[in-house]
A and B are shown apart, each in its own frame.
Chain A
Amino acid sequence: MEIPKWKTKNLLGIESLSKFEIRKILTLAKKLKHESVKNKSYLAGKRIVNLFMEPSTRTRIAFELAAKTLHADVISIAEKSSSLTKGETLRDTALNIQALGADAIVLRHSSPGSPLLLSRIIDVPIINAGDGAHEHPSQALLDVYTLEEKIGPLDGKKITILGDILFSRVARSNFWALSKMGAKVTLAGPSTLVPKSFESMGAIVSHDLKESLADADAVMLLRIQHERQSSSHFPSLEEYTRIFGLNKYRSKWLKKDAVILHPGPINRGVEIDSELADSANSVILDQVTNGVAVRMAILCLCTLSYKK
């Protein structure tokens, strides 16, 4: 199989991508998912560095497995084991990784815009694996992939993202991806976590759970991070569950075959009923599986479009 060209060599976010580019990644992901393992040596001899400055399980493992499946050599660096704990700046760490001969850097960092910053400093492809509350493009791409697999083309579909939108990079990337694919996206949750100002991005904002779920084709739940917002953004997890938690009764407001997504990690009994998370409508584990295929596509496109 021939790997198509990727214009920028980086994947910094979804906002700057066209629908055509999103489709290019998804098409490649599908081919890679169904291709037999022994043929997948596209990245043989390439060195991928996972620079993860924030805790991550799913994303880091998915990127590692994706790279290994493509026969790349992978090194994963976590914040605690890097020189950043010795006061080295991100910029210097990245320059060193480039000097050591990396062919791509997958970056997870708490600062919004840090992948863009690195892309201005170094030549090696930068793949954003989550930057603060800004973007998490690979997550949005695997969500679109999963949704299309389950409910078909997204054009005209009603999709609701529910929970902590304000502090969520997953919500932002998904909003861009889903709207570019033609879906009508509603952002829902408490007014402090889903301020009306999201309308300036073109989103529908709702603080009414029933209205936001009514006739939705899919709902994406986000983890409520009570530790991050302390107590000023909402009173308690219990109150959140009572007012915005998704349970069996409320799930009936959705369309009959609607699917439930969650980027993980899930808090059972908080944003989602445990039973519902394991129900037939839940595609949470499909998301995880598809995450590897989508990340294989991203790694191929970015790494192979870079000539040292």
Chain B
Amino acid sequence: MKTICLKGGRIIDPSTEKDEKGDLYFYDDKIISPKDAKNTEVIDVTGKIIFPGLVDLRCHINDLSGGNGENIFSVTRAAAAGGYSTIVLMPNLNPIPDNPATIQFIKDQIKRDACINVKLTGCLTKGSNGKALAPLGSLKNAGVVAITDSPLSPQDNQIFCKAVEYASMFDLPVIDLPRDLSLSENGNAHDGPSALKMGLGGYPRIAEELFVQRAISISRSLNTRVHLSSISSFASVDLIKEAKNRDVMITADVSPQHLALTETKILNYDTNFKTTPPLREEVDRKYLIDGLMDGTIDCISTAHEPIKEYEKNIEYDLAPTGVTSLETAFNISLQQLSEHPKFTWVNLLKFMSLRPSEIINVEGGGLRVGSTANIVIFDPLKKWKYHSSKSKSRAFNTPFNNEEFHGKVSQIYLNGKAI
């Protein structure tokens, strides 16, 4: 076996905050020191940017049963194309992972079909129906990295608080996509100017903010971790900022869609802009970007939700929410953040690789000697257009079809092997 040397690239390592030109050596599945290199194959990566594989904390699929939806095979190819070495699957699967046997069943599929690391979450409540706790300890033993009912949120405060308390015993992170259903039951769109004209609405900011506050309060009172998924409201950012100032162990992520788009995009009733949660207004978008940059929001999660074409392309209010994102997430995030005065590549890779790994306690986000060789080569000069029809994903519900991008993931190594 040869040592591989990626020579002359710009290496970004968020774990050491380094951004410098250099050569990166790896042998087998580990990054090694140049002085340990023998029998080296040199790959010239001059002009390219080298960084650790991306990690996604919110990814959905809709097919575990050999149908024609997004399955583990296709989602991991899409993720690899987007620069991801690890994705975390949300539990809205069929069968639903609220028991260890199902976790094992899905792990077998992962072993057979995945080309990158796939981590599992278990349900927070049985069947994700919000009524009774799922067997969190057994799920942990079966190998889940977090528990959540995403894209749902337990509506019963007692259940949620007890789940957080119970999960803390196993040091198992709880992820919540904050949404008070009593305020958003028919929530097809943000209650904003576009929805008002269109006769839609029903998903106001307050539906999110109340549950953000719930998570903060329980996290503070128990001094335990809760992670908030896909924050969309500007006031949520303020709530989280204040909580972090008091050292509450709350963490949060935002989707690239919410960094890039606002509710005016839905004016044509195009269901490919119907996201979970809904796109909001410019003030929210600005707050979310600033919130990332000042450390209030920890990371960026794709919120990749594949939906079959015939299910998505129907009446707006009847269509399911969710958009695909894995292949565009890095480019969209780069595009949206690079103009910000506090932008650095180290920061971007913290948001998309280091922080998500830390939140779920998996290895990632580093290119130090001894790190697993999950490495992305990014060509910053390559111009390309994203066509959903040529996507590795089996779903087409992207808001960014035909979008032109600058810079492309040109290679990804997982455990030292090119994918």
Contacts and interface: CB of A to CB of B under 8 A. Distances in A.
| A and B bind | yes
Interface of A: 15, 89-91, 109, 111-114, 116-117, 131-135, 169, 172, 195, 197-198, 200-201
B317 interface: yes
B405 interface: no
Contacts of A131: 199
A109 B196 contact: no
Contact of B313 (A91, A172, A195, A200): A91
A20 B42 CA distance: 70
Interface string B302-339: 00000000100111111000000000000000000000
B314 A91 contact: yes
A191 to B, nearest CB: 14
A197 B201 CA distance: 12
B199 A132 contact: yes
Contacts of A201: 193, 196-197
B: interface residue count bin: 10 to 19
Contacts of A197: 191-193, 196
A113 B315 contact: yes
B318 A111 contact: yes
Given A90-B315, A197-B193, A112 B200 contact: yes
Nearest to B311: A89
Interface of B: 191-193, 196-200, 268-269, 310, 313-318
Contacts of B268: 116
A15 B268 CA distance: 13
Given A112-B317, A113-B269, A113-B316, A133 B193 contact: no
B314 A89 contact: yes
A193 B315 CA distance: 24
Most chain A CB neighbours (cut-off 10 Å) among B310, B313, B315, B316? B315
Contact of A117 (B197, B199, B314): B314
B198 A134 contact: yes
B185 to A, nearest CB: 11
B317 A132 contact: yes
A212 B190 CA distance: 29
Question: Do most interface residues of chain B lie in helix, strand or loop, or is the interface mixed?
Answer: loop
Given A112-B269, A197-B196, 18 more contacts: A89-B310, A89-B314, A90-B314, A109-B315, A111-B318, A112-B198, A112-B200, A112-B317, A113-B317, A114-B315, A131-B199, A132-B199, A133-B199, A133-B200, A134-B198, A169-B199, A172-B199, A198-B196
A26 to B, nearest CB: 23
A117 B192 CA distance: 22
Nearest to B188: A112
A200 B193 contact: yes
B193 A111 contact: no
A-B interface, 4 closest residue pairs, ranked by CB to CB distance from nearest: A133-B199, A113-B269, A111-B315, A134-B199
A167 to B, nearest CB: 8
B160 to A, nearest CB: 23
B199 A135 contact: yes
Nearest to B315: A111
Contacts of B315: 90, 109, 111, 113-114, 117
A198 B317 CA distance: 21
B198 to A, nearest CB: 5
Given A90-B315, A117-B315, A15 B197 contact: yes
A198 B195 CA distance: 11
Nearest to A169: B199
A134 B192 CA distance: 14
A113 B198 CA distance: 7
Contacts of B196: 195, 197-198, 200-201
A36 B315 CA distance: 41
A129 to B, nearest CB: 14
Contacts of A109: 315
